[in-house]
Amino acid sequence: MVPTKILEMMDNVMQEKVWIDLESESGPLEHRSAVPFHTFMYDFMIMRFGLQSIAIKTLIQMTNGLTIEQKINPWAHTLSNMIGMASPPYRLDEI
């Protein structure tokens, strides 16, 4: 996948995650639960594309594109960690 498309997609997912997190913070304390970014991204992709096979295919294309870009772009490794595809993976509090 082209780097600009990956960045655009990650931007959309991050914006949605921020809105969802802000909405969850306004509720009662016992209902607040942090959703890891990689789990949220997978769910977001399924909701966006409607089919699990298309969502997984898109995530694989993103991962392959980020793997290629890691040699050139320092942000590619960070984005790979955020979606849970690079090693060592980020912990919940690091994302």
Model confidence pLDDT, tens digit, residues 44-74: 889 888 888 888 888 888 888 888 888 888 7
**Would you place residue 11 in the very low, low, confident or very high pLDDT band (cuts 50, 70, 90)?**
confident
* Per-residue tokens: 56: 């997984």
pLDDT at 34 (0 to 100): 72
**CA–CA separation, 18 and 7 (whole Å):** 16
Tell me the percentage of the chain whose pLDDT exceeds 90.
Answer: 0
pLDDT at 87 (0 to 100): 67
Other Cβ atoms within 10 Å of 53 Cβ, number: 9
**What is the chain's mean pLDDT, rounded?**
79
pTM for this entry? 0.69
**CA–CA separation, 93 and 95 (whole Å):** 6
CB of 62 closer than 8 Å to CB of 83: yes
Other Cβ atoms within 10 Å of 87 Cβ, number: 7
**CA–CA separation, 5 and 63 (whole Å):** 12
Tell which wins on pLDDT, 48 or 23: 48
